[in-house]
């Protein structure tokens, strides 16, 4: 599709607002609940589509479907919470004879632009609150992974959503994204993707609300007193699940001096046991990356680090779109594998002496999505919570943890606003105030 198709889609969505206005809150609830049920009923088919499109391993694809269904169900419940308030207007002398209350109304047309790594979860976190609030949507799935997402959009219509209320644009995001974000009839842009694309959207969006999740290079801190069994199990998973193509990926692993060598040895032993292969196989732990080009980019970044003195502890080899789980140490901080978001199965070990140094290293990034610290010390935990410049700080949990009720989003270059059940829906409504002069 070309950028001219954006006008057609937005115009259809404007008509869709009238159709959405005819639906009651109960109707919108039922659309989301029926769609959630339909997703589970098609679990086998959608699983195969996700594996084929993304390279996601089977158990992750199955979990993706279950989670997407649950997210839509949770947003259906949020229709009950679209509430206002009744301020005491006579607390001001001018309001002596006045009574008023506020209520929430749909904001209008929502532009939802999604990424490839979790096609159905991201869709659900964007379309769920849009529909629950009564908006219409123009949805742009990732160009590499549109099929399963488009099928769910069809399920929404089959479940009773007006056809004009969901409009899908497939194609080149570099063309369609800015055209969609800059359209004056779009009132909210909810975007998940890279920081450069996010910055482009902010430049063209104009006066509208932006919900933007722009990634990170999450730090996981392991102190000398940490439960290493717990930390290792959590961080190895966070480093390599989804082939590292995850904004919560444990990219930087900060380990205190006293346990550094033990952690390194045990980490490499665990990670070396991960099985790379056919994502359709139930026994596979690591599948292919989204494309060979993505794997080549990761290969380039790793080789760049090795050329300036980094030490390879594990992996480091590519075969077509497969890239081995990789671990590096002694990496100069200015290299891209440390300073940028690699979005691949590569992690960097960093040694630190005390908690102050660890926090300084963790904060030395343009990102600020999630950080983690493993420690038995409440003092260290509270110190980290206060001083880490991240939207979420995990205590004795890895950065790759999210439940869908959390306010999800970050500081600095990691984005704007918060996603999550009960949070993004607020950005997709306007507050309207009614005031009555009872003394007139």
**Interval 291-319: pLDDT, tens:** 999 999 999 999 999 999 999 999 999 99
Catalytic residue among 62, 64, 213, 380: 213
- Do 164 and 136 form a contact (C-beta atoms < 8 A)? yes
| Confidence band for 1, pLDDT divided at 50, 70 and 90 | low
Asked if the domains at 4-215+412-437 and 219-395 fall in one CATH topology, the answer is no
Q: What is residue 422's predicted lDDT score, i.e. its pLDDT?
A: 84
Q: What is residue 440's predicted lDDT score, i.e. its pLDDT?
A: 73
Position 3 pLDDT exceeds 70:
no
CATH superfamily to which 219-395 belongs? Aldehyde Dehydrogenase; Chain A, domain 2 (3.40.309.10)
Which residues have a Cβ under 8 Å from the Cβ of 398 and sit 6 or more positions away?
220, 234, 235, 237, 238, 250, 372
- Do 251 and 342 form a contact (C-beta atoms < 8 A)? yes
Which tens digit of pLDDT belongs to each residue from 394-437?
999 999 999 999 999 999 999 999 999 988 999 999 999 999 99
Chain mean pLDDT for the chain: 96
Q: What is residue 372's predicted lDDT score, i.e. its pLDDT?
A: 98
Q: What is residue 4's predicted lDDT score, i.e. its pLDDT?
A: 84
Please say if 247 is a catalytic residue.
yes
Which tens digit of pLDDT belongs to each residue from 48-90?
999 999 999 999 999 999 999 999 999 999 998 899 999 999 9
Which tens digit of pLDDT belongs to each residue from 327-383?
999 999 999 999 999 999 999 999 999 999 999 999 999 999 999 999 999 999 999
Q: Whose structure tokens read 């901080």?
A: 333
Per CATH, is 4-215+412-437 categorized as 3.40.50.920?
no
Q: Distances from the Cα of 81 to the Cαs of 308, 321, 423, 440, in angstroms? A: 54, 45, 11, 33
Catalytic residue among 53, 62, 218, 247: 247
Average pLDDT over residues 203-226: 96
Which tens digit of pLDDT belongs to each residue from 127-137?
999 999 999 99
CB atoms within 10 A of CB 278: 14
**What are the extents of the domains in the chain?**
4-215+412-437, 219-395
Which tens digit of pLDDT belongs to each residue from 218-248?
999 999 999 999 999 999 999 999 999 999 9
Position 170 pLDDT exceeds 60:
yes
Q: What is residue 45's predicted lDDT score, i.e. its pLDDT?
A: 95
Q: What is residue 174's predicted lDDT score, i.e. its pLDDT?
A: 86
Average pLDDT over residues 79-108: 95
Cα gap 180→189, rounded to integer Å: 9
Q: 194, 186, 195, 234: which is closest to 373 by C-alpha?
A: 234
Position 274 pLDDT exceeds 60:
yes
């Amino acid at each position: 599709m070309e950028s001219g198709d954006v006008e057609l889609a937005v115009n259809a969505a404007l008509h869709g607002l009238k159709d959405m206005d005819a639906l009651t809150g109960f109707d919108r609830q039922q659309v989301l609940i029926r769609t959630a049920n339909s997703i589970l009923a098609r679990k086998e088919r959608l699983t195969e589509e996700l594996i084929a499109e993304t390279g996601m391993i089977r158990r992750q694809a199955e979990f993706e479907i279950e989670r997407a269904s649950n997210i839509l169900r949770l947003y259906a419940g949020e229709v009950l919470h679209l509430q206002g308030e009744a301020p005491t207007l006579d607390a001001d002398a001018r309001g002596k004879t006045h009574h008023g209350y506020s209520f929430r109304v749909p904001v209008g047309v929502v532009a939802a632009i999604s990424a490839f790594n979790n096609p159905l979860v991201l869709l659900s976190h964007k379309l769920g609150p849009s529909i629950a609030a009564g908006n219409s949507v123009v949805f742009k799935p990732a160009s590499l992974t549109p099929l399963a997402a488009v099928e769910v959009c069809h399920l929404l219509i089959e479940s009773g959503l007006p056809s004009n209320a969901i409009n899908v644009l497939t194609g080149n995001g570099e063309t369609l994204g800015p055209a969609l974000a800059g359209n004056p009839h779009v009132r909210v842009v909810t975007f998940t993707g890279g920081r450069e694309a996010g910055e482009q959207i902010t430049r063209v969006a104009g006066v509208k609300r932006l919900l933007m999740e722009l990634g990170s290079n999450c730090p996981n801190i392991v102190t000398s007193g940490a439960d290493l069994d717990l930390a290792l199990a959590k961080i190895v998973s966070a480093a390599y699940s989804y082939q590292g193509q995850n904004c919560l990926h444990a990219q930087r692993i900060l380990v205190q001096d006293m346990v550094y060598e033990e952690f390194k040895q045990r980490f490499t032993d665990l990670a070396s046991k991960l099985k790379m292969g056919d994502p359709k196989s139930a026994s596979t732990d690591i599948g292919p990356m989204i494309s060979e080009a993505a794997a080549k980019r990761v290969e380039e970044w790793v080789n760049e680090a090795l050329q300036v003195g980094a030490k390879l502890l594990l992996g480091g080899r590519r075969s077509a779109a497969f890239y081995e789980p990789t671990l590096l140490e002694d990496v100069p901080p200015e290299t891209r594998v440390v300073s940028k978001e690699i979005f691949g199965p590569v992690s960097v070990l960093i040694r630190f002496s005390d908690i102050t140094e660890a926090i300084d290293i963790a904060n030395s990034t343009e990102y600020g999505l999630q950080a983690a610290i493993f420690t038995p010390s409440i003092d260290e935990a509270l110190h980290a919570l206060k001083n880490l410049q991240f939207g979420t700080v995990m205590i004795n949990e890895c950065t790759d943890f999210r439940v869908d009720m959390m306010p999800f989003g970050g500081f600095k270059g990691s984005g704007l606003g918060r996603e999550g059940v009960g949070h993004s829906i607020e950005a997709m409504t306007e507050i309207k105030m009614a005031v009555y002069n009872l003394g007139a």
